[in-house]
Amino acid sequence: MERFRLPKIHLEPVPMPKGVEQMLQTAEHKLAHRPKLLALFKNCFPNTLETTTKLMEDGTTFIITGDIPAMWLRDSVEQVRHYLPFAKGDDELQKIIGGLIRRQMMYILKDPYANAFNEGPNDWHWDANDETGMSPWVWERKFELDSLCFPMQLAYLLWKETGKTDIFDENFRMAMRKTVDLWKVEQHHGENSTYTFMRRNCPAIDTLRNEGKGMPVNYTGMIWSGFRPSDDACDFHYHIPSNMFVVAVLRQMQEIARYVFRDELFVKEMAKLEEEIEHGIRLYGVVHHANYGPIYAYETDGFGNHCLMDDAGTPSLMSIPYIGYTSNDDPIYQNTRKFILSKENPYYYEGKVAKGIGSPHTPPDYVWHLALSMQGLTASSKEEMMEVIEMMEATDASTGYMHEGFHADDPSQFTRSWFAWSNSMFSMLIHRAMDQGLFDK
């Protein structure tokens, strides 16, 4: 079995945009009295541009996830999102992010079910023997509902930040159409979908059961997903955080369709889809917990089964305000937050040096820096935000960078030394804290 073909990708140094340079200079001043935190920020903030970004001859941008030579739709968005506040008036940054969006739309049009793509049609794959509709462009074809949401939201946020609409070309319009069509098919996965995925001789979380079709689901109005944002298989296939993400993104796509493409019929179609998913979330995705009251489930199947947990990858239950579904003060979110930051969440760990959310994707007792960043970004108080920052500052294992998971007792035991998404999320948190004056003397 061929797996992990890791060829070298040549990445030319990307000129550092002026907005990024200015932020690094600002940090020199604001973090001068915290030398380790400053060093971490100076490493992590430009990391995507310094190590993972390739400007293509066609004007698009290819961004690898780090230690794997492929571009994930989800990861590539989160790797640049912390640059958005600096995009207005910075032509170089707009070119990089706009080029990424154009490449993402190209990929969606090639295969909206795939989660990760190659630089070109080179036929490189995570596992050469995956049984699904592979193509030479596709690195991996795990259908993760969130993968289609991230590029659409990035385009919307860039538009709102800069006011420019040049990214909304014909390819973007067609990708929007293809995305909505797929979502409508996957509302009725068992009846209408042809998607299957099987991987042989692998851990159970890397493949779909039932001959690649996944476990049975009942109609709820929500959209079926094969895999979670961690790339692990869903247990019950209606992934609640991803369906919340679709609701938030459909609202944003309706704005694009109305004010850019002037397509009211498409707006009406998306509004109907949004309402159907929202109704499903409210009807099937809220569970009464004996200790916390009504909370959001992580997954359900529409037959009354659900799993109560949270995973470190975004979208997560922790990230509900971040993805734009509802505000931080939503009572059900607050109940859910208390649950997922307790030992009743099977993937919440507490150790000698850290406490936080991990994932079935990594060993027990491994807390993820991504989850800590998200906890800080969605914190209700400055005290909680600062507690998380200090925990992250103390758990880099003297590498100067963030990682995937690390042991809650011993940060020197960690996974993925080069994981640009984690560096970007940490940078976003530190920038947010600087804006809120947390480091002011």
Task: Give the tens place of pLDDT for each residue, 41-93.
Answer: 999 999 999 999 999 999 999 999 988 999 999 999 999 999 999 999 999 99
- pLDDT category at 6 given cuts 50, 70, 90 is low
Decide if 52 is inside a domain: no
Place of tokens 């299957």: 196
Q: Give residue-wise pLDDT tens across range 327-353.
A: 999 999 999 999 999 999 999 999 999
2: pLDDT strictly greater than 90: no
Tell me what percent of the residues of the chain surpass a pLDDT of 70. 98
- The separation between CA 325 and the C-alpha centre of its own chain, rounded to angstroms, equals 14
Q: Which residues contact 106 (CB under 8 A, 6 or more apart)?
A: 60, 171
Q: Say which range, 9-18, 299-308, 381-390, has the weakest mean pLDDT.
A: 9-18
Do residues 433 and 439 lie in contact, with contact meaning Cβ atoms separated by under 8 Å? yes
Q: Give residue-wise pLDDT tens across range 244-284.
A: 999 999 999 999 999 999 999 999 999 999 999 999 999 99
Strand partners, 66: 419
Same structural domain, 293 and 439: no
Is residue 136 reached through a cis peptide bond, with omega within 30 degrees of 0 on the bond before it?
no
Do residues 140 and 154 lie in contact, with contact meaning Cβ atoms separated by under 8 Å? no
Same structural domain, 309 and 440: no
Place of tokens 């993968």: 147
Domain boundary residue, one of 346, 362, 386 = 346
Cβ-count burial of 5 within 10 angstroms (0-12 exposed, 13-18 middle, 19+ buried)?
Answer: middle
Residue 441 belongs to what domain range? 15-45+347-441
What value, to the nearest 5°, has the Cα angle with vertex 205 and ends 388 and 338? 30
Place of tokens 């498409």: 266
Q: What is the pTM of this model?
A: 0.97
Name the domain count of the chain: 2
Same structural domain, 328 and 352: no
- pLDDT category at 403 given cuts 50, 70, 90 is very high
Same structural domain, 84 and 217: yes
Q: Which of 68, 37, 39, 38 shows the shortest CA–CA distance to 51?
A: 68
Do residues 175 and 108 lie in contact, with contact meaning Cβ atoms separated by under 8 Å? yes
